[in-house]
Amino acid sequence: MANNAEDIENNMPNEQESSTSPEPTQAPQDQGVSGPRSRGSAAGAGGNGSGPEQNGQPPAAHPARVVEREEDEDEELTLKYGAKHVIMLFVPVTLCMVVVVATIKSVSFYTKNDGQRLIYTPFPEDTDTVAQRALNSILNATIMITVIIVMTLVLVLLYKYRCYKVIQGWLFLSSLLLLFFFSYIYLQEVLKTYNLAMDYFTLAIIIWNFGVVGMICIHWKGPLRLQQAYLIMISALMALVFIKYLPEWTAWLILAVISVYDLLAVLCPKGPLRILVETAQERNEPIFPALIYSSTMVWLVNMADTDQPSRNSSEAASPQQENQETPVASPPPSSPSQDDGGFTPSWVSQQEHRLGPLQSTEETRREVQEMPSARPPVEDDEEERGVKLGLGDFIFYSMLVGKASATASGDWNTTLACFVAILIGLCLTLLLLAIFKKALPALPISIFFGLVFYFATDNLVRPFMDKLALHQFYI
Amino acid sequence: MTAAVFFGCTFIAFGPAISLFVFTIAREPLRVIFLIAGAFFWLVSLLLSSLVWFISVQISNKESVAQQKGLLIFGVVLSVLLQEAFRFAYYKLLKKANEGLLALSQEETMPISIRQLAYVSGLGFGFMSGAFSVVNILADSVGPGTVGIHGDSQHYFLSSAFMTMAIILLHMFWGVVFFDACEKRQWLAVAAVVITHLVVSCLTFQNPNYFGSLIPTYIILFIMGTWAFYAAGGSLRNLKLCLTCKDKDFLLANHRPR
């Protein structure tokens, strides 16, 4: 059982890292189209924002002028909507970190060293010499990274050879484990900390309901906020597990190495995650919908379910599930911003001349959208393209901040510094995404800043601030 | 100690700042981003000044108390100067970003004006400065203990909270005045900001003589407040219109009748 748990623990980050948002079929066509369109979609609602404005314009009558005007409008709207997306990611990341830090500070279970380790980190860190400890942590990190690389490759191979059932079963099992087993342990420890008594019947009912609703929300349909809340909760649980079971130096090393790996895997031409993204692009399919946090969505899940006879529409329908929002960075690659630009009906009708090949799918889409069903009004769509971030990002960010609050002697100052550093890293990543408009890893910049600020604050700022507080000097 | 002191001091220290954030900044994503960037810049300045202080402590005589205190004072002065330098750097960065965007878009107005940026960045500096000064103290105040049992001042927590509130608001005012002075190239005003910051920090050297540090700090706070008010374009007439709810522009912007 322990093995299984750990297995899945490791699978989770792998999957989450490799989860990407699907590429739209427009990507190849977008190459030919000039900047504004992709820039519009890069900012997400940038495209949307210019959508309504372009409603009144003649379609491609004077392409150069239209393009220019779009560019200017896009720039302004890019800034506004880009900022909105950044905030849409700041809030869940902050919430996840707050949950992790609050748990670390109150529930001592996650900071206690029971001597238990994961099978992936077999070397102990309580050794006699510093050199031995360093060696052990390097070995641990190597093993862990190798496992992650192997898992990612297996995943890519499975995806490439269309073994979707295997992947889905794997994801299903891992989220099952997280939602039931780990949350049971969490609840148990919280009750122990606050010395509350709860009988097994109540516990069973609570865990059962929590788990089942979570599985439904994550793997099927559910209210958007609830799904987001569940994704944040399972990220926090996963981060807590890592904080508990990874020894200190190993954890920092793993964070550093995994951000380097993320960078290589996403940007190198032969990187597994890049292959994954490109394969998904070719097939025009969503990837692992359960492992990406998205800020708007849900109602399009309806469309994935409708039984469209034509292959085109079903393919278009399933990307809709994920692609209604502009994917932004994901820990592993995110969807390039070129995607998804034409998925809203108004946008699509305006861009028809550009999206020639997609005519059939647009029609079926509009058709389906006209079907009555309980879903949010279309206006949401025009105003917001959502953003997506893979759950692996959440996990590693929260792990960094949680580790900082657990082990730093500078206490809250270090935690705050890491928190601000990670948010700024995320902001920069999103800015780069808006500039480069291709899949970018979200881990490297944030983790780099986080690590730098952790070590700098803990070793340099803490003694300074302590002395100042002692004398009550203020800077 | 315990909960009452904790909540009381927290709200004293952060109350005005948090309400400013909630009512004026939280709804605008751009402002939030620039707030956090401002906090980041303050953090970097603190890092650099701590680095210098740390190095100087390592090469100094650790036994001599007077030398350590001297080094600490040097650290404080250096930190203040670095903070203001980073404020200037942030100003330059924002100007560049603003200009770049203005050049690219044909629009006349930017989504965020330099005055709003001044306010937001000042508050960002203030938040981070206040947080770093007081959060550990607040965390300690939750637990059991007796304040000043060894003969130190019994008002440690309360004075820390009031000082923090003053510092946060001061940073905000300094931000507004600083940016405005840079815009108008009034270097004397910039120097005044730096000097008042130094004065406020140096006043705290008198702690625990709180009369000597808190009262002048609050006087400086009020002076900077009125200066910032006028620098941001306020006037007695504006104030009167605002308070009697007759300011048409504001009402229009908030969709209220009258």
Task: Assign B191 to helix, strand or coil.
Answer: helix
Contacts of B156 in chain A (CB under 8 A): 472
Least confident of A305-309, A444-448, B139-143: A305-309
Mutation site for A-interface testing, chosen from B21, B133, B165 by largest number of A Cβ within 10 Å:
B133
**DSSP assignments along B35-85, one per residue:** HHHHHHHHHHHHHHHHHHHHHHHHTS-SS-HHHHHHHHHHHHHHHHHHHHH
Question: Which stretch of DSSP H or E encloses residue A254?
Answer: helix A248-267
pLDDT at A76: 56
Residue A244 contacts residue A105 (beta carbons within 8 Å):
no
Take residue A461 and report the two structure tokens written for it: 């700022």
Mutation site for A-interface testing, chosen from B32, B40, B55, B129 by largest number of A Cβ within 10 Å:
B40
Residue in B36, B139, B156 closest to A423 by CB: B36
Contacts of B111 in chain A (CB under 8 A): 76, 79-80
A458 is catalytic: no
Range A252-289 burial, b when 16+ CB lie within 10 A, else e: bbbbebbbebbbbbbbeeebbbbbbbbbbbebbbbbbb
Is the confidence at residue B16, as pLDDT, over 50? yes
CA distance A60 to B116: 39
CB contact under 8 A, B136 and A469: yes
CB contact under 8 A, A72 and B107: yes
Task: Assign A387 to helix, strand or coil.
Answer: coil
CB contact under 8 A, A75 and B72: no
pLDDT at B172: 96
Mutation site for B-interface testing, chosen from A91, A97, A472 by largest number of B Cβ within 10 Å:
A472
Q: What percent of chain B is modeled with pLDDT above 70?
A: 93
Higher pLDDT, A128 or A339: A128
Contacts of A459 in chain B (CB under 8 A): 54
pLDDT at A208: 96
Higher pLDDT, A138 or A408: A138
pLDDT at A330: 40
Write out pLDDT tens, residues B188-210.
999 999 999 999 999 999 877 88
Mean pLDDT value across residues A246-257: 92
Nearest CA in chain B to A72: B105
Query: Closest Cα partner for A439 from A231, A267, A206, A242?
Result: A267
Within chain B, what is the greatest distance between any pair of CA atoms? 70
Burial category of B71 from C-beta neighbours within 10 Å (exposed 0-12, middle 13-18, buried 19 and up): middle
Write out pLDDT tens, residues B69-83.
999 999 999 999 999
Residue A406 contacts residue A111 (beta carbons within 8 Å):
yes
Closest-CA distance, A410 to chain B, in angstroms, reads 8
Mean pLDDT value across residues B184-190: 93
Mean pLDDT value across residues A253-276: 90
Q: Is the peptide bond before A272 cis (omega within 30 degrees of 0)?
A: no
Mean pLDDT value across residues A133-162: 90
Mutation site for B-interface testing, chosen from A106, A430, A474 by largest number of B Cβ within 10 Å:
A474
Write out pLDDT tens, residues B212-235.
889 999 999 999 999 999 998 888
Residue in B30, B54, B160 closest to A83 by CB: B30
Higher pLDDT, A467 or A337: A467
pLDDT at A241: 92
**ipTM summary value:** 0.92
Contacts of B30 in chain A (CB under 8 A): 79-80, 83
CA A407 to chain CA centroid, nearest Å: 26
Angle at B171 between CA B165 and CA B173, to 5 degrees: 105
Mean pLDDT, all residues of chain B: 89
Most confident of A142-151, A434-443, B99-108, B147-156: A142-151
pLDDT at A292: 81
pLDDT at B61: 82
| Active-site annotation holder among A262, A339, A381, A458 | A262
Size of interface A-B (CB pairs under 8 A): 125
pLDDT band at A10 (very low <50, low <70, confident <90, very high): very low
Closest-CA distance, A85 to chain B, in angstroms, reads 8
Least confident of A186-195, A348-357, B69-78: A348-357
Query: Closest Cα partner for A234 from A1, A394, A426, A7?
Result: A394
Closest-CA distance, A459 to chain B, in angstroms, reads 9
Write out pLDDT tens, residues A13-52.
444 443 333 333 333 333 333 333 333 333 333 333 333 3
Take residue A445 and report the two structure tokens written for it: 């910049």
CA B38 to chain CA centroid, nearest Å: 10
A393 is catalytic: yes
CB contact under 8 A, A456 and B51: yes
pLDDT band at A94 (very low <50, low <70, confident <90, very high): very high
Name residues 406-465 of chain A within 8 A of B (Cβ).
411-413, 416-417, 420-421, 423-424, 427, 453, 456-457, 459-461, 463-465
Within chain A, what is the greatest distance between any pair of CA atoms? 77
Nearest CA in chain A to B127: A416
Least confident of A99-103, A281-285, A354-358, B149-153: A354-358
pLDDT at A199: 95
pLDDT band at B147 (very low <50, low <70, confident <90, very high): confident
pLDDT band at A306 (very low <50, low <70, confident <90, very high): very low
CB contact under 8 A, A472 and B50: no
pLDDT at A280: 81
Residue in A75, A84, A420 closest to B29 by CB: A84
pLDDT at B240: 87
pLDDT at A346: 53
Nearest CA in chain B to A105: B139
Is the confidence at residue B247, as pLDDT, over 70? yes
The phi and psi torsions of A292 (rounded to 5 degrees) equal -125, 135
Contacts of A457 in chain B (CB under 8 A): 47
CA distance B126 to B65: 31
Amino acid (one-letter) located at B100 = G
Least confident of A257-266, B143-152, B157-166: B143-152
Mean pLDDT, all residues of chain A: 73
| B30: CB partners within 8 A, 6+ apart | A79, A80, A83, B111, B112
Write out pLDDT tens, residues B105-137.
555 567 788 899 999 999 999 999 999 999 999
Least confident of A150-154, A203-207, B166-170: A150-154
CA distance B190 to B194: 6
pLDDT at A54: 38
CB contact under 8 A, B111 and A472: no
| A315: CB partners within 8 A, 6+ apart | A283, A284, A285, A361
CB contact under 8 A, B39 and A420: yes
Residue A231 contacts residue A91 (beta carbons within 8 Å):
no
Is the confidence at residue A268, as pLDDT, over 60? yes
Is the confidence at residue A62, as pLDDT, over 80? no
Contacts of A72 in chain B (CB under 8 A): 104-107
| Active-site annotation holder among A7, A30, A381, A393 | A393
Mean pLDDT value across residues A289-301: 65
Residue A49 contacts residue A385 (beta carbons within 8 Å):
no
pLDDT at A387: 76
CB contact under 8 A, A473 and B205: yes
Query: Closest Cα partner for B86 from B43, B32, B150?
Result: B43
pLDDT at A353: 52
Is the confidence at residue B58, as pLDDT, over 70? yes
pLDDT at B8: 93
Contacts of B128 in chain A (CB under 8 A): 416, 420
Mutation site for A-interface testing, chosen from B132, B152, B204, B206 by largest number of A Cβ within 10 Å:
B132
pLDDT at A349: 56
Residue in B106, B111, B131 closest to A72 by CB: B106
Contacts of B208 in chain A (CB under 8 A): 472
CA distance B195 to B186: 15
pLDDT at A347: 57
